[in-house]
Structure 1
């Protein structure tokens, strides 16, 4: 495994990490989670990502039970949670957002579900137009000083909001945001590569990127339709299905269709190639993998070998063919 610093911090995360979105608490029960977490950890993965909203809290509960059963050394791995959407399907006003009340209670609830004494990473899952950024910074600084959180950051925040939070923290001698969790893949790259570009040097921003496979589109699994048991086939993910398959007048699907042949030419699977491409960006601290079974996880972990094996000439060829679609 390769390990990378989380931005300018001293924390080193595995270049490939493992997340619970969509799968844990839905497709994955505690036994399956335990098996995959053990496999990930055995391969050097030291960061496990989660959020209050994933399966309405069940994802964190499943992960917590699995980690407890595995009895992994707590100083040997990192775990995260995210707050904004709330845990309940129809949350009350005080059960969502980034108010100090919700951030405090969401943190405490995540600690109980994950069965840990502190969160290594705690993210503000989306910007909150109803909460001043000053309140968010003060709340997160307080949680860190209480020992409940070690690092805090944002997820899918615009660069201007991250800059404002960092500036307020610096002016008030508070602990500012250390990381951002954005979507990043071959079909969704502008924010990480362009919008956030000044922040890597200015505030030492790290990134824990999600959806390296564009919710499966880059694996080729949707070329013949949407399988019922797939991520996009689930009933309450119509919004995700539309955003993935209906975007850009089908251009994304046409570009994704190039991957199988390119992967075969380069001696790997489409999933490994897409994940390895994400690893090429030095501003990516870790790429969060998702999986519903051990075989899928093992395949995805093989992306690290592809990343280390392919040279610049191979990647230039890949980019030229992929972009031409």
Structure 2
């Protein structure tokens, strides 16, 4: 049965905006489609209520590739005839070259490339090594108050770093990060389902699940030819070997591997939004079928995929970017 929408919406944090449970990512997405196909896909997604787009300027740190996917998104939105109020935009603030390259500089460039004057919210991206977290909170707050975006979150931070940021914001009357974009999938659960993050989820922190397909491996694209995310814990080969079991469980429920992967992340009580990339209407429609799977078999999914938790006892629950990073005081 084809999903006709609209998708459900959930609150991004206790006082956050209502956003769709699905959002479309931009990394290696819009540059994999013909111009007309991209516009058609964006128009159809919005019509189904999937009107959240995660768009970044990929030209920092390991993403220093001068990608044009954000420029292509800008063009596709215009080709689709969308007004700015038709969709939500989640931007990125990269920490690789921060504070040498300030948040203010980054947001002005990235929004101009995406063709908008403001983002609805942004994510402060990955980092290695030391970071002045108090400065990050202060600078993000300044941009919120200046109207560049309405809320902010973090991408693959350790729970200890995020706790510091939230506590500092509360003590100083600043704007706290209200959501965490984390690697979360059938295979990678240690951080999102660990006790350190669990305490903050209980306080109202929202979870945005990303990399749910492991670059396509969990849906049968076992040897991706494009650049995909990092491999915390060095478990990618084990994830690749697990695909036959993913397929078996999905077939048991009358679902596709993609639907199983997405539906599983929605069983987490803190999950507000699941990000994925699609390159065609059929793929989008298939992914939306996860909602029916969740409705029919949600209570059974966790037990059914218990053996697919591959980073268990490999990655610490307080890890940063999925690595076994030490806590900061």
Cα distance in 2 for residues equivalent to 1:84 and 1:307: 34
CA distance in 1, matches of 2:290, 2:34: 25
Structure-2 separation of matches of 1:16 and 1:249: 25
Question: Which residue among 276, 288, 308 is the counterpart of 1:289?
Answer: 276
Alpha-carbon distance change, 311 to 209 in structure 1, aligned in 2, over 3 angstroms: closer
**Match for residue 198 of structure 2?**
197
> Residue 185 of structure 1 aligns with which residue?
185
Alignment correspondent of 1:20: 26
Tell me, in whole angstroms, the C-alpha distance in 2 between the residues paired with 1:65 and 1:150: 24
Aligned mates of 1:97, 1:285 — CA distance in 2 = 29
Identify the range of structure 1 (247-256 vs 258-267) with the bigger mean alpha-carbon deviation: 247-256
The two structures have a TM-score, normalised by structure 1, of: 0.84
Does 2:181 correspond to 1:176?
A: no
Q: How many residues align?
A: 298
Q: Which SS does the other structure have where 1:193 is aligned? A: coil
> Would the alpha carbon gap of residues 79 and 100 (structure 1) be closer, same or farther in structure 2, given more than 3 Å must change?
farther
Is 1:59 aligned to residue 69 of structure 2?
A: yes
Q: How far is the alpha carbon of 1:74 from its aligned partner?
A: 2.6
C-alpha RMSD over aligned residues? 2.4
Which moves more between the two structures, 72-81 or 172-181?
72-81
Closer, same or farther in 2 for the Cα pair 1:103/1:128, shift >3 Å?
Answer: farther
Secondary structure in 2 matching 1:285: strand
What is the Cα deviation at residue 29 of structure 1? 4.7
> What TM-score does the superposition give when structure 2 sets the normalisation length?
0.83
Structure 2 equivalent of residue 50 of structure 1: 55
Q: Work out whether residues 57 and 113 of structure 1, in 8 Å CA contact, stay in contact via their aligned partners in 2.
A: no
Distance 1:79 1:150 in 2: 11
Q: Which runs of 5+ in 1 are unaligned?
A: 86-95, 227-231
Gaps of 5+ in 2: 1-6, 311-329
Shift in CA distance, 243/130, structure 1 to aligned 2, threshold 3 Å: closer
Contact kept? 1:100, 1:139, Cα under 8 Å? no
State the match for 2:316 in structure 1: none
1:187 Cα deviation (Å)?
0.4
The structural deviation recorded for 1:68 is 2.5
Q: Equivalent residue of 2:186, what SS?
A: coil
Aligned 8 A contact 2:180 2:205 in 1 = yes
Shift of 1:37: 1.1
CA distance in 2 between counterparts of 1:249 and 1:304 reads 27
